[in-house]
Amino acid sequence: MVPNPKESDKSSAQEYSDLERRIVKASQLLMNPPEVDVGTAPNEIVYQDGKMRLLHYLPVVDEPHPVPLLIIYALINKPYILDLQPNKSVIRKLLSAGFDVYMIDWGTPTDVDRYLNLDDYVNWYIDDVVDFIRMRHDLDSITVFGYCMGGTLSVMYTGIHPEKVRNFILMAAPLDFEADQGLLKKWSRPEYFDADELVETVGNVPGEFLNFGFLLLDPVNNLYSKYLKFIDKVDDEKFVSMFFRMEKWINDGIPLAGEAYREFIKKCYQQNLLVKNRFTINGHKVKLDNIRMPLLSIVAEYDHLVPKESSMSFNDLVPSRDKKMIMFPTGHIGLSVSSATHAKMWPGVIEWLAKRSYIKEPKAKTTKTKNKTKKKTKKKGKK
C-alpha cells in the first residue's frame, strides 16, 4: 500500500504540535515548580544536641522487633531521600516489616560548626545517640545502618565501639579509596586538590560546591538527558511528582563542616587509611578486626558517586563470620527510590535483618559507657 503524503504530513504536524505543547508545559513547570511533600513518615524528635536531631519513626505494628535500627546518613544532602515518597520509602518499608526505626538528622552547619571534626561526629554525636537508644530500649547493642558517607562514619564508629553494635548494614558506602577509580577519587588526588587551602579559604564547604561536583560525575544525564525525559513524560502526573521530589532533594544540599571535610578528604580519599587499618580518631584506632557482628553490605552496580569497587572488598577485610553482600543493578540513589529495588531488593534485606533482630538472652540493664573518647569539656560548634 502506497502511503498517502497528505496523511503523513498531517501526522507529522500533529506530532510537532504535541511536542511544542509538551515543551511549553515542561518549561512552565520547571520555572514554577509545584510544591511536593517529602519525609512524610510520622516521627518524633526524641533527642537533640545542637543542630543534630534524632528522629524516631512511630511504629506501625503492635510489637516491633526488639532490636531497634539506627540509620546514619551522610553529612551532605538531607536524609529524607530514604522517605522521599510514600510508595517508595525505605523508612515506611522497614516500619511495615516491624522494625523500630531511628534516624539521625544532622541539621545544617553554620560558621560556628566549621571546626567540628570526625571525632565530634563519631565519638560524640553518634556515640551519644547509640547510648540513648540502648538505654531507651534497655539493650547492650543495636543495629546500625550506614548509607553513603554515613556508612564510612559507621565503620569508624563500629571499629571503636563494637560492643554497642549488634548488626551492621552498609549501603553504598565509600570505603576502599584505592579500588575506587571514579572521578571523585581522581579529582581528590593530592597533586590536583588541596583540601587545606579550600577549608582555610571558605570554612564550611558549601553545599553548592559539593552538589555541582556530583552533577559533573554524570553530566549528560544530570544536565541534559533527564530534561528530555521530563518533556517526554510531562503528562504523567506520577512521573512529574517524583521528578520534582528528586529535584528538591538534589538542590537541598547542606554545607559540610570544614574540619570534617578536611579529615575525610585527606585520610580517606588521599591516604586510604581506613582499609589499611591505620585510621585513628582522637588517638583511638579504628580496628577492622572489631567488626565481628553480622554484616550486610549493599552495593549499587551502576553507582557513579560511590563506584562498586569502593565497597565490594570490605567484607573480605573484616573477620565477621556472618556476612553477606547484595549487589543490585541500579545507581546510588536508586537503592532508595527505584521501583525495582523496592520490589526485588528490599524484601531480601528485611528478611536478613529480621532473623537477627530478636533477643536470645534476657535484657541486660545498661549504663552509659564512661570511657568516652571525646572531650566533654570542649564541645565545638554546639550553639
Annotation marks residue 113 as catalytic? no
Task: Quote the CA–CA distance of 280 and 328 in Å, as a whole number.
Answer: 32
Buried b (16+ CB within 10 A) or exposed e, 189-220: eeeeeebeebbeeebbbebeebbeebeebbee
* Residue the block writes with cell 588517638: 283
Alpha carbons within 13 A on the beta-carbon side of 361: 6
Catalytic residue among 148, 161, 180, 304: 148
CB 249 within 8 A of CB 81: yes
Catalytic residue among 65, 284, 304, 332: 332
Task: Quote the CA–CA distance of 242 and 87 in Å, as a whole number.
Answer: 11
Annotation marks residue 137 as catalytic? no
Task: Quote the CA–CA distance of 282 and 264 in Å, as a whole number.
Answer: 14
Annotation marks residue 148 as catalytic? yes
Catalytic residue among 83, 119, 127, 303: 303
- Strands annotated E in the chain: 43-49, 52-57, 69-72, 101-105, 142-147, 165-171, 280-281, 284-285, 295-300, 323-328
Give catalytic residues, as residue numbers: 148, 303, 332
